[in-house]
Amino acid sequence: MRLLRYLIVCGSAAAMAGAVTFSGVTASTVAVPARASHAPSARFLAEARAALVHYLRDHHPRAMLAPGRARTIGNVKAFQSYNWSGYVSTSATHQAFTKVSGNWTTPSVTCNAEDQVTSNWVGLDGFNSNSIEQLGTVSWCYQGTATYYTWFEMYPASPAAVSTSLAPGDKIAASVTRSGTSYTLKLTDSTHPANSFTKTATCALTKCPDTSAEWVSERPSFSIGVAPLAHYNAFKITNGSQTNNGHTGTIGAGPGLNAVTMVDATGIYNLNTVSTLTGGNSFSTTWKNSY
Number of other CB atoms surrounding residue 107 within 10 Å: 23
CATH architecture of 12-287: Sandwich (2.60)
Contact 274, 86 (CB under 8 A): yes
pLDDT higher than 60, residue 107: yes
Does the pLDDT value for residue 27 go beyond 60? Answer: no
Picking from 173, 114, 178, the residue whose alpha carbon sits closest to that of residue 144 is 114
Residue 144 burial (10 A CB sphere; 0-12, 13-18, 19+): middle
| Angle, alpha carbons 232-129-94 (nearest 5°) | 120
Mean pLDDT across the chain = 86
Looking at the DSSP bridge assignments, the partners of residue 41 are none
Residues 209-219, mean pLDDT to the nearest whole number: 97
Residue 25 has pLDDT above 50, yes or no: no
Residue 38, pLDDT score: 66
H/E element, 183: strand 182-189
Render pLDDT for 31-79 as a digit per residue (tens, 0 to 9). Answer: 334 444 467 888 998 899 898 888 888 888 899 999 987 889 888 999 9
Q: Is the confidence at residue 93, as pLDDT, over 90?
A: yes
Averaged over 87-101, what is the pLDDT? 97
Average pLDDT over residues 183-191: 98
Mean pLDDT over 251-275 rounds to: 95
**19-23, 128-132, 225-229, 254-258: range with lowest mean pLDDT:** 19-23
CA distance linking residue 24 with residue 13, whole number of Å: 21
**For the chain, the helix, strand and coil percentages under 3-state DSSP, each to the nearest 5:** 10, 45, 45
215 contact partners, CB below 8 Å, separation of at least 6: 86, 87, 88, 100, 102, 122, 237, 240, 251, 283
Looking at per-residue confidence, does 101 or 5 come out higher?
101
Least confident of 37-41, 125-129, 223-227: 37-41
The answer to whether residue 165 scores a pLDDT higher than 90 is no
Indicate the pTM of the whole model.
0.86
Contact assessment for residue 213 and residue 141, using Cβ atoms and an 8 Å cutoff: no
- Who wins on pLDDT, 131 or 13? 131
Does the pLDDT at position 29 exceed 80? no
> Could you state, in order of their start, the residue ranges of all structural domains in the chain?
12-287
How does strand 257-262 pair with strand 76-81?
Answer: parallel
- pLDDT for res 135: 97
Sign for the CA dihedral angle at 85, 87, 89, 92 comes to positive
For residue 12, what pLDDT band results from cuts at 50, 70 and 90?
very low
Lowest mean pLDDT across 29-33, 97-101, 103-107, 231-235: 29-33
Per DSSP, the three-state class of 44 is helix
Residues 131-143 pLDDT 10s = 999 999 999 999 9
pLDDT of 190 over the 80 cut: yes
Average pLDDT on 263-291 reads 96
Q: Characterize 2-32 residue by residue with b for buried, 16 or more Cβ atoms within 10 angstroms of its Cβ, and e for exposed.
A: eebeebebeeebbeebbbbbbbebebeeeee
